[in-house]
Chains A and B, each alone.
Chain A
Amino acid sequence: MTRFILVFTLVLLALFTVEMLVPVQTHVIVPFTGALATLSAALVTPFDPSVVAFGKVLQFSDTGFAVSIEAGCNGVEATIVLIAAVVAFPASWLQRVAAILLGFVAIQALNLVRIISLFYLGNWNMDFFSWIHLYLWPTLIMLDVLIFFVLYLRYLAKRPLPATAHG
């Protein structure tokens, strides 16, 4: 457990520092965040044609209300936490990579729900928007990471330990 926490902390800090670097922000994080906004709009527009996306902004074309998806709202930090936890936990690298890919999908799926729900909440009531945006959704996203990781642990515990797991 102590080894897990040490490796987890080191990987977490390393990945978080890399994420903060300007080239990474410019070439990875900002385009990814823009893609999230575009995907959110693509999911919503079939049901609500008044929604448009440009860059990392989602907007109602009729009311003019818009949200901008910023750092901390793109699920990248949650993904970094999951990667650090999976890497720190003994397993084969195949299992680790599979867990990271599946976990990324699980986090981003919930994050899309978060973005779309906040977009509609903000158009309805800013007080609810602020409360749910600042406190509830970050908790639910981290809970998503935790539940995925516990399920991963459960999966590992049911399988025989591969020879490469000591790395």
Chain B
Amino acid sequence: MAEANHLRQFLLLVFVLLLPCFALWTVSSGPLAVPAIGFVNSVLTAWLPQIVDTLYVDGQRALLMTRFGETGGTLIPLSEASEQLGFPVNPSVLSYSLPFYTALHFATQRDNYLNTWIIGVLVLYPLMALGLLSVCLKTLMVGLGRALFQQPDAWVPDPNLIGLLYQVNVLLVPTLAPVMIWLWQSRETPLLRNMLRFTQVAGDPPAAT
């Protein structure tokens, strides 16, 4: 019966915590995305120096500035252009994994809240960066077309692979990663211990049972 209480407590708290967690995230989503934006900027400018000028924070969004200009719908080198071609990128479609994970984490009764939460957040950030990289590649593919794939000195993924990476990293990972991290970190909590103990017995080889 104690297990049922833990489940009720989790269900109640997770919905209660979602509201403040998402509210806090909404007002701070710009600064929260800075580490991921900085990392992806370093990767893109080193990987595609003839394509990407910079990726920088612009309020709640990021701006992906290219080394191209545009006239009459045609790409031209930046040196010949009066304006630089750039694309807005929304890092919030990735960083909302943070309030979701935070609500799951603090809704679960456990011995240590803060240390494990920090570890979870540190795991989420590289996934956010990977997602942001996928978003930028997809944005460049749509915005620049063939120019992206005509890089003599750099390997650029196939368009299908860019599409698949985008789908996985934007549609799945931001909601799935918090759940997986929570599940792993909560495997010894009163909420999940009994259920997972059953699984370990069932999944173990006979000698271990």
Contacts and interface: CB of A to CB of B under 8 A. Distances in A.
Q: What does DSSP make chain A's interface, helix, strand, loop or mixed? A: helix
Q: What does DSSP make chain B's interface, helix, strand, loop or mixed? A: helix
A81 interface: yes
Q: Could you say which interface size class chain A belongs to?
A: 35 or more
Contacts of A138: 96, 174-175
A165 B179 CA distance: 25
Contacts of B92: 134-135
A160 to B, nearest CB: 10
B81 to A, nearest CB: 31
Given A139-B100, A142-B179, A157-B195, A16 B168 contact: yes
Q: Specify which of A72, A89, A142 lies most central, judged by the most chain B CB atoms within 10 Å of its CB.
A: A142
A89 B202 CA distance: 9
B172 A81 contact: yes
Contacts of B26: 131
B18 interface: yes
Given A1-B184, A142-B179, A90 B202 contact: yes
Q: Could you say which interface size class chain B belongs to?
A: 35 or more
Interface string A104-144: 00000000000000000000000000010011101101110
29 contacts: A1-B200, A4-B203, A20-B164, A20-B167, A72-B167, A77-B171, A81-B176, A90-B199, A90-B202, A134-B93, A135-B22, A135-B92, A135-B93, A135-B96, A136-B22, A138-B96, A138-B174, A138-B175, A139-B96, A139-B100, A139-B175, A153-B192, A153-B196, A154-B7, A154-B195, A157-B195, A161-B201, A161-B202, A165-B202
